[in-house]
Copies of this chain bind each other. A is one copy, B any other.
Amino acid sequence: MPSVSVFGAGGYTGALSAHLLDRHPSFRLTALTGRSDVGRRLDDLYPHYRVPLVLEQLDLDRHAAVDAAIVAYPHGAAAELVVELRRRGVRVVDLSADFRLRDVGVYEEWYRVHPEPALVAEAVYGLPEHYREEIRGADLVANPGCFPTAALLALAPLARAGLLQDVVIDGKSGVSGAGRAATEKTHFVTVDENTSAYSVPRHRHRPEIEQELAVLGPEVKVTFTAHLLPLDQGELVSCYVTAPAANAADLEALYRAEYEAEPFIELVATPPGVRDVRETNICRISVHRDGPTGRVVVFAVIDNLWKGAASQAVQNLNLMFGRPEGEGIS
């Protein structure tokens, strides 16, 4: 049974990764590392995950003696650890953005100087619905961002059909998407009874969405804004596309053809709610024609911590190690 360490298990996505692996029938969760919470047990920090392991100070000789790793470090900090893990032969799923953007120049425009550009080419973008075969053989998987996961699944059928024009993506996220850091922005009193857009106009998920849409069809510039909502887990993207050529029947056929064999995509007739998919690896999608304007409106919901991060990471691990894709996350 392959052994796995989770690096950075004190944060929301690392902790959930640990939880999913701890109950996974085909992986052995070996160790957790943390930073500010070193010495605390994970089930003390996150009682509902019930993982009886202690968060340890990073010690590569011990923690990297595993078959696989999930790295849940902040953007920028992850790259150096990933390089070290790869050097030791550990297969890695990295939750950060450090290996998602294939063009290091784009990465550096949106994030910072890339600490390990040489490794970027090796990484596979970990959206199984798009890169299933590549992931099976990958040693380094760059797990997608939460908004890109939802947006790409929402728009892929249109992109492949060459129907994408004038793309507007209005994203709405629960607060867990902002991470565990206690700040004025995540204080209950700030969030409660409130909503606003953030990171306007330059949200870092935009280049990631544009990169992956360009793989499916002609290059397209998207307008993407993110909004914070007074809820914990859950993410909704409302996508607006000019696609006069598509009629309603085409749309339905297009989406059905794309997704009928996908185990974690559910097409529904009415706009889905984030609660429909809470604590699942599922993405629910509905697609609508807006007759008078010739636009297509697509809604997609995911759980930002699950399909938007940790359960998708486990889905990728399953593929990498030849396990059934949904094992441990269904």
Contacts and interface: CB of A to CB of B under 8 A. Distances in A.
Contact of A186 (B47, B188, B240, B275): B188
Contact of A175 (B192, B200, B240, B273): B192
B200 A189 contact: no
Contacts of A278: 48, 193
A270 B194 contact: no
Interface in A197-233: 197-198, 200-201, 221-223, 225, 227, 229-233
A47 B276 CA distance: 5
B176 A280 contact: no
Contacts of A195: 172, 229, 231, 234, 236, 273-274
A231 B12 contact: no
A221 B186 contact: no
Contacts of A180: 184, 187, 189
Contact of A168 (B12, B230, B288, B295): B295
Interface in A277-315: 277-280, 284, 286, 288-293, 295, 297, 299, 301
Copies in the complex: 4
A192 B231 contact: yes
Contact of A271 (B183, B190, B198, B230): B198
A272 interface: yes
Nearest to A176: B189
A17 interface: no
Nearest to A175: B188
Given A187-B188, A223-B297, A293-B221, A194 B48 contact: no
B276 A201 contact: no
A170 interface: yes
A242 interface: yes
Contacts of A261: none
B240 A197 contact: no
A174 B231 CA distance: 13
A191 interface: yes
Nearest to A45: B184
Interface in A147-194: 166, 168, 170, 172, 174-176, 180, 182-184, 186-194
A30 interface: no
Interface in A229-280: 229-234, 236, 238, 240, 242, 270-280
B270 A193 contact: no
A109 to B, nearest CB: 11
Contacts of A223: 240, 290, 293, 295, 297
A4 to B, nearest CB: 22
Interface of A: 12, 47-48, 166, 168, 170, 172, 174-176, 180, 182-184, 186-198, 200-201, 221-223, 225, 227, 229-234, 236, 238, 240, 242, 270-280, 284, 286, 288-293, 295, 297, 299, 301
Given A170-B240, A193-B233, 15 more contacts: A47-B272, A47-B273, A48-B277, A168-B295, A172-B195, A175-B188, A175-B192, A182-B182, A194-B273, A195-B234, A196-B273, A197-B236, A197-B271, A200-B299, A229-B230
